Amino acid sequence: MNQGGRTPPRSRASRSSRPTGPLETLAPVPYRACVSTPQHRTTLLLVENNEDVREALREILESEGYRVLTAMNGQDALNLLAEQERMPALVLLDLVMPVMDGHAFIEHLRGTGALALMQVLVLTAHPTLPLPQGVAGRLGKPVKLEELLDAIAVHTATA
């Protein structure tokens, strides 16, 4: 189905997929329960502090037909989520970032109940860092494009 002249994201078979400040000072964010649906382009939230990586991934993912929101850290991502009508189907999350890292971002989502509304896929150059509870999986950096697109297809299939 052609959606406004754009080609929808292509399906891919998965090669392999398994499923800084104190948080009490952060104001609660009002999340909406509605997530991306088939009637809408699949929305991804990319949280990455490296601007070059963030912009390159955004361009690639948009060329694949995804709607991509970007944030430079966890706090920026929370602010962005509060402005959205629909929750993204998948969050692509760096763990090591200034201001609010990926672990604090996940804890905040868990505390508000928003973590249950979306999938989170960690992108990290630190493969030995423990994964926060509740994330769908991990991809190493530098990200391999085919693995990323396969993982996105798998983790957004049920969104």
Domain boundaries, the chain: 32-156
Question: For residue 24, is pLDDT > 90?
Answer: no
Joined together, the tokens standing for residue 41 give 């382009």
User: Is 4's pLDDT higher than 50?
Assistant: no
Residues 12/66, Cβ–Cβ less than 8 Å: no
Amino acid at 76: D
Contact 49, 72 (CB under 8 A): yes
pLDDT one-digit tens code per residue, 65-120:
999 999 999 999 999 998 888 889 999 999 888 998 888 998 888 888 777 778 89
Per DSSP, the three-state class of 32 is coil
- 109-135 burial, b if ≥16 CB within 10 A, otherwise e? beebebbebbbbbbbbeeeeeebbeeb
pTM over 0.85? The answer is no
32-156 is classed CATH 3.40.50.2300: yes
Q: What is the pLDDT of residue 19?
A: 32
Q: Check residues 158 and 112 and name the one with the higher pLDDT.
A: 112
Residue bearing the bigger pLDDT, 62 or 126: 62
